[in-house]
Amino acid sequence: MATRQTRTLARAMMAPAVVLLLVWMIVPLAMTLWFSFQNYNLLNPITRGFAGFLNYEFFYTDPAFFQSIANTLIIVGGVLAITVIGGILLALLLDQPIFGQGIVRILVISPFFVMPPVAALVWKNMIMHPGYGVLADIARFLGLQPVDWFAQHPLFSIVIIVAWQWLPFATLILLTALQSLDEEQKEAAEMDGANVFNRFLYLTLPHLARAITVVILIQTIFLLGVYAEILVTTNGGPGYATTNLAFLIYRTALLSYDVGGASAGGVIAVVLANIVALFLMRAVGRNLDR
Amino acid sequence: MARAVSTRRKTIATIAAWLVALVIFFPILYTVATSFKTEAEAISGISLIPSGTFENYVQVQTQRDYFKPFMNSVVISVGSTVIALLIGIPAAWSMAFSPTKRTKDVLMWMLSTKMMPAVGVLVPLYLMFRDFGLLDTRIGLTVVFTLINLPIVVWMLYTYFREIPGEILEAARMDGASLVGEIVYVLTPMAVPGIASTLLLNIILAWNEAFWSIRLSAANAAPLTAFIASFSSPQGLFWAKLSAASTLAIAPILIMGWFSQRQLVRGLTFGAVK
């Protein structure tokens, strides 16, 4: 009797969270799916009707589509490469005994707390500006021609800005993982004559494997949806050079008022994110069993 | 000898670490420095020593009404976090203390809602907001942020609650404590640190969220993310003022972030890395 009461109470306590998230998940997603098969333009509401796969076809044959997919992958891949490799190196460095470790740590993680519009505008105007930016000043000091970052390497510039924001995250997590490595194991390996390189390869890296996986997966979820950084720096241009899938959908929806087309794009984005999510859930789920 | 080598090694590591750290921190430092420069100084080469004017801060307030988006950010991020906690605490509590066979599935499912890309539901949400008159309202953004952060809140709380030993409950029960007594006198004091870190992390996440806040708000309910983004238009090409606004926008969160580094790792990896 008591147990049944407890169980009922437990269910009642969970209900609000579960119901809210259920509604939050199902209603908008179902609507997106429904709209994606509709002719629906906010500027032309009369011609509304069933469209079959036309929206998908339209979205798919848009030359911007493949470029946006490529750009999305370049942003995700580029940022991951920089942050994971940089994060490992930085974590190894910060794991050494150093003077002022606490302050160094604070300096390194700070960019993570900077909101995306601030990060993007500061980099665009004060660091990468071809006339007045810090990088231009340095280039002139060295007698070089300043680089016009957003005109010459627009996508790379976005990657740099986003990587700056996420490097602290990778570093912090890898450092935390590194610090849980058993000192005795390290000493044992050292006594057995393993050199620095081998110790890293056969002891540290396997120990970090799980943290690296988590970093990659969580970052991928966020990096697939990079938006504000593009909006305030290049607005997707020049042309479609920095338009990723998220930005293309936004453009279709709120600049072209094409509800059907944007929804078809949204469905594609959801499918893409779900493939990644599947792997993430497995990694996190395994931890739960432990 | 060994001691000398280790001191040298420490010195080298220290220099390297500080160099890297300063390079990474430089854009923030430079922004703060520029915020105290005049507009002319701001575009005349690298200098970390400003003339020390507060003019930019005054102008950001008088010309752009900084206080309004600031209050929007405070209300929306704190509001959504508190509501998410009110909904999340009971849920996490029951999952941690009376788990069933399905608890793990429910948790995983909650996490999966977090994986949904925002653009995937931009259109229906935008239309619903328009139809219900929620566009550009604090309530609208608070609701969205509550739902976005609810899975993280439940997860974080769950990982904290799970570490509270069940034996303590049994001991309290033996001593004749009622269910309410258990919760108020035994569990709550042990749960407070976990709840506090959850609160902190979620305020940080809500404060910095920059997709929904920009898309679903305009002049009235715009939080700081949307406010700063508006500086990207030509009229905002005043770097010293941009720097002042940016400094004000990131300072509170930066300080909160420094205090919550540890919890951050745990919260953002859903307990997978501690």
Hey, is the C-beta of A176 within 8 angstroms of any chain B C-beta? yes
pLDDT of residue A1: 40
| Chain B residues touching A86 at Cβ < 8 A | none
CA-to-CA dists, residue A38 to A44, A160, A280, angstroms = 13, 39, 33
B38's tokens:
């005049």
Hey, is the C-beta of A38 within 8 angstroms of any chain B C-beta? no
Judged by average pLDDT, the poorest of A168-177, A279-288, B265-274 is A279-288
Instruction: List Cβ neighbours of A99 (8 Å cut-off, separation of 6 or more).
Output: B10, B14
CA B152 to chain centre: 12
Selected residue with higher pLDDT from A149 and B48: A149
User: What is the C-alpha to C-alpha distance for residues A75 and A81, in angstroms, rounded to an integer?
Assistant: 10
Contacts 24+ apart (CB under 8 A), A42-51: A42/A257, A42/A258, A42/A259, A43/A257, A51/A260
The answer to whether the CB of B207 falls within 8 A of the CB of B73 is: yes
Q: Are A288 and B107 in contact (CB < 8 Å)?
A: yes
- Which range has highest mean pLDDT (A209-213, B3-7, B138-142, B269-273)? B138-142
Q: Are B257 and A93 in contact (CB < 8 Å)?
A: no
Q: Are A126 and B91 in contact (CB < 8 Å)?
A: no
Task: Dump pLDDT digits (tens) for B8-66.
Answer: 888 888 899 999 999 999 999 988 988 888 777 777 777 777 777 788 888 788 788 88
Give the chain A residue nearest B125 (alpha carbons).
A28
| Chain B residues touching A99 at Cβ < 8 A | 10, 14
Q: Are B254 and A7 in contact (CB < 8 Å)?
A: no
pLDDT of residue A82: 95
pLDDT of residue B1: 42
- Which range has highest mean pLDDT (A63-67, A157-161, B163-167)? A157-161
Q: How far is B53 from chain A (nearest CA, A)?
A: 19
CA atoms within 13 Å, Cβ hemisphere of B127: 18
Q: Are B91 and A231 in contact (CB < 8 Å)?
A: no
Q: What type of residue is B258?
A: W
Q: Are B27 and A123 in contact (CB < 8 Å)?
A: yes
Q: How far is B153 from chain A (nearest CA, A)?
A: 10
- The partner residue sitting opposite A225, judged by closest CB among B95, B211, B246, is B211
The domains of chain A, with CATH numbers, are 64-289 (1.10.3720.10)
Q: Are B123 and A259 in contact (CB < 8 Å)?
A: yes
Give the chain A residue nearest B154 (alpha carbons).
A17
Q: Three-state SS string across chain A, please?
A: CHHHHHHHHHHHHHHHHHHHHHHHHHHHHHHHHHHHCEEEECCEEEEEEECCCHHHHHHHHCHHHHHHHHHHHHHHHHHHHHHHHHHHHHHHHHCCCCCCHHHHHHHHHHHHHCCHHHHHHHHHHHHCCCCCCHHHHHHHHCCCCCCCHHHHCHHHHHHHHHHHHHHHHHHHHHHHHHHCCCHHHHHHHHHCCCCHHHHHHHHHHHHHHHHHHHHHHHHHHHHCCCCHHHHHHCCCCCCCCCCCHHHHHHHHHHHCCEHHHHHHHHHHHHHHHHHHHHHHHHHHHHHHHC
User: What is the C-alpha to C-alpha distance for residues A94 and A104, in angstroms, rounded to an integer?
Assistant: 8
| Chain B residues touching A16 at Cβ < 8 A | 87, 90-91
Residue boundaries of the structural domains of chain B? 2-57, 66-268
Average pLDDT over all residues of chain B: 83
Instruction: List Cβ neighbours of A257 (8 Å cut-off, separation of 6 or more).
Output: A41, A42, A43
Tallying the residues shown for chain A, one arrives at 290
Residue A199 in this model has a pLDDT that exceeds 60: yes
How is domain B66-268 classified at the CATH fold level?
A: MetI-like fold (1.10.3720)
Find the helix packing angle between B67-97 and B103-114, rounded to 10°.
160
Q: Is the peptide bond before A45 cis (omega within 30 degrees of 0)?
A: no
Give the chain B residue nearest A136 (alpha carbons).
B45
Q: Are A106 and B273 in contact (CB < 8 Å)?
A: no
Disruptive mutation site among A38, A83, A113 for chain B (greatest number of B CBs within 10 Å) = A113
- The partner residue sitting opposite B116, judged by closest CB among A25, A31, A177, is A25
Q: What angle do CA A71, A77, A83 make, to 5 degrees?
A: 130
- The partner residue sitting opposite A231, judged by closest CB among B20, B21, B214, is B214
A116's tokens:
């995306």
The answer to whether the CB of B92 falls within 8 A of the CB of B158 is: yes
B116's tokens:
């949904």
- The partner residue sitting opposite A115, judged by closest CB among B20, B208, B231, is B208
Judged by average pLDDT, the poorest of A52-61, A168-177, B15-24, B242-251 is A52-61
Q: How far is B57 from chain A (nearest CA, A)?
A: 16
| Chain B residues touching A158 at Cβ < 8 A | none
Q: Are B257 and A110 in contact (CB < 8 Å)?
A: yes
Can you state the percent helix, strand and coil of chain B, rounding each to 5?
A: 80, 0, 20
Hey, is the C-beta of A128 within 8 angstroms of any chain B C-beta? no
- The partner residue sitting opposite A137, judged by closest CB among B45, B93, B237, is B45
Q: How far is A92 from chain B (nearest CA, A)?
A: 10
A-B C-beta contacts closer than 8 Å: 302
| ipTM of predicted complex | 0.85
Task: Dump pLDDT digits (tens) for B82-106.
Answer: 999 999 988 888 888 877 888 888 8
Q: Are A121 and B246 in contact (CB < 8 Å)?
A: yes
State the average pLDDT over residues B139-143.
90
Residue A107 in this model has a pLDDT that exceeds 80: yes
- The partner residue sitting opposite B272, judged by closest CB among A134, A265, A283, is A283
pLDDT of residue A288: 54
Cα torsion A158, A241, A63, A32 to 10°: value is 30
State the average pLDDT over residues A31-51.
78
Q: Are B28 and A117 in contact (CB < 8 Å)?
A: no
Q: How far is B77 from chain A (nearest CA, A)?
A: 13
Neighbour count for residue A226 (Cβ, 10 Å): 27
User: What is the C-alpha to C-alpha distance for residues A70 and A64, in angstroms, rounded to an integer?
Assistant: 10
pLDDT-above-70 percentage for chain A: 96
Q: Are A16 and B87 in contact (CB < 8 Å)?
A: yes
Give the chain B residue nearest A244 (alpha carbons).
B119
User: What is the C-alpha to C-alpha distance for residues A111 and A107, in angstroms, rounded to an integer?
Assistant: 8
Judged by average pLDDT, the poorest of A33-37, A123-127, B164-168, B211-215 is B164-168
CA-to-CA dists, residue A145 to A132, A135, A148, A149, A151, angstroms = 13, 11, 9, 12, 14
Residue whose entry in the numeric block shows the structure tokens 């929007």 = B72
Give the chain B residue nearest A120 (alpha carbons).
B229
Q: How far is A246 from chain B (nearest CA, A)?
A: 6
Average pLDDT over all residues of chain A: 84
Q: Which residues pair with A44 in a beta bridge?
A: A41
